Amino acid sequence: MSSAKIAVVTGASAGIGAATARALVAAGYRVVTGARRVDKLRQEMPEGVTCLPLDVTSQESVDAFAAQVPVLHLLVNNAGKALGVEPVGGATEELWRTMYETNVLGVMRLTRAFLPALEASGAGHVINVGSIAGFEVYPGGAGYTASKHALRAVTRTLRLELLGKPVRVTEVAPGLVETEFSEVRFAGDKERAKTVYQGMEPLRGDDVAECIVWAASRPRHVNIDEIVVRPLDQAAATMIHRREAGD
Ligand code: NAP
């Protein structure tokens, strides 16, 4: 039996999750990943990574996933999304519900399912991928920022509740990262998604993955409560330095 630590990464079929799973493999973890698009997950993951179907909005799916992972040291709750940019006055209820189901209740479901195993490991760690949207707001962003504010509250509460137990709790809160995120937000409109990163240099999934692996690899008595990581070109959610072509 290998003595490697075991990590779960949710939403590893793209973006930050895929980069994190690869970085954890490179750091020596045995990695179990989940996403709804299992074929894409298998394409993205290097050999040796376990790829399982997972829909964090379904308790049944979370139960089936968790049953495959009896031993766990690190849970990276990464699966999440923004949907639309409608103002509060024109909000689509179904989009808000899906964001809350995924970004908040999904994290609760995975954390609840895995806390016993994390505690039993003697050196457990929950890393939640939050966002600067967890403490900043912007017009058209309320559905998403409300969900990430809620996730931040859940993460900070968990830190209090686990005091005295061998489970660390961390929030990694990135600014703009170029992934499938904006394409998902704009319902598959690739051209519109590109404009989000126009004229500026966004973070890559790998930049966030490095933060996650760094937090996980501190000595077990060190709890990194939060990491806020933004592109140099982004000082706040709505303050972005953009260059004209040729600048
Ligand atoms: P992404 O490229 O769209 O990846 C999102 C991942 O989440 C995909 O693997 C997707 O897989 C998975 N996912 C979505 N719904 C799911 C569900 N119901 N069950 C299981 N998996 C699900 O976006 P990303 O930028 O990497 O986002 C990852 C996390 O970073 C999210 O929590 C996001 O809020 C956060 N974040 C992103 C940015 C940014 O600018 N990109 C900034 C701050 C924070 P399937 O579709 O295959 O299920």
| Number of domains composing the chain | 1
Does residue 246 lie in a domain region?
Answer: no
Q: According to the model, what pLDDT value does residue 109 have?
A: 99
Confidence label for 37 from pLDDT (cuts 50, 70 and 90):
very high
Q: Which two tokens stand for residue 55?
A: 């829909």
Residue 245 placed within a domain: no
In this prediction, residues 127-154 reach a mean pLDDT of 98
The pLDDT tens digits of the residues spanning 62-97 come to: 999 999 999 999 999 999 999 999 999 999 999 999
| CA distances to 91, 96, 195, 245 from 192, in Å | 19, 21, 5, 18
21 pLDDT more than 60: yes
Among this protein's residues, is 100 annotated catalytic?
no
CB atoms within 10 A of CB 225: 12
How many angstroms separate the alpha carbon of residue 81 from the centre of ligand 1? 5
- β-pair type (239-240, 234-236): antiparallel
- Please give the Cα distance from 140 to 131 (Å, whole number): 16
Q: Is residue 233 part of a domain?
A: yes
* CATH number of the structural domain spanning residue 88: 3.40.50.720
Task: Give the nearest ligand 1 atom to 57 CA.
Answer: 18
Ligand 1 center to 37 CA (angstroms): 12
**What confidence tier does 246 reach under pLDDT thresholds 50, 70, 90?**
low
Provide mean pLDDT across the span 42-56: 98
Q: What per-residue confidence (pLDDT) applies to 244? A: 86
57 CB under 6 A from ligand 1?
yes
Selecting among 29, 100, 144, 197, the annotated active-site residue is 144
d(CA 112, CA 116): 8
Listed residue (215, 128, 120, 113) closest to 167, CA to CA: 120
For residue range 163-211, list pLDDT tens digits in order: 999 999 999 999 999 999 999 999 999 999 999 999 999 999 999 999 9
In 25-122, the DSSP E strands lie at 30-35, 50-53, 74-77
Instruction: In whole angstroms, give the CA distance from residue 73 to residue 94.
Output: 35
Q: What would the pLDDT profile of 119-137 be if each residue is shown by its tens digit?
A: 999 999 999 999 999 999 9
Q: Is 14 in the pocket of ligand 1 (CB under 6 A)?
A: yes
pLDDT at 3: 82
pLDDT in the model for residue 207: 99
User: Which atom of ligand 1 has the smallest separation from the CA of 133?
Assistant: 43
Task: Report if residue 98 sits inside a domain.
Answer: yes
pLDDT of residue 11 exceeding 80: yes
The pLDDT value given to residue 1: 46
User: From residue 122, how far is each of 156, 160, 210, 231 by CA, in Å?
Assistant: 21, 18, 24, 35
Domain presence at residue 28: yes
Q: Is residue 143 part of a domain?
A: yes
pLDDT at residue 69 in the model: 98
Q: DSSP secondary-structure letter at 200?
A: S
Is residue 247 included in any domain, yes or no?
no
**pLDDT exceeds 80 at position 159:** yes
Please check whether residue 219 lies inside any domain of the structure.
yes
In which domain, by residue range, is 230 found?
6-240
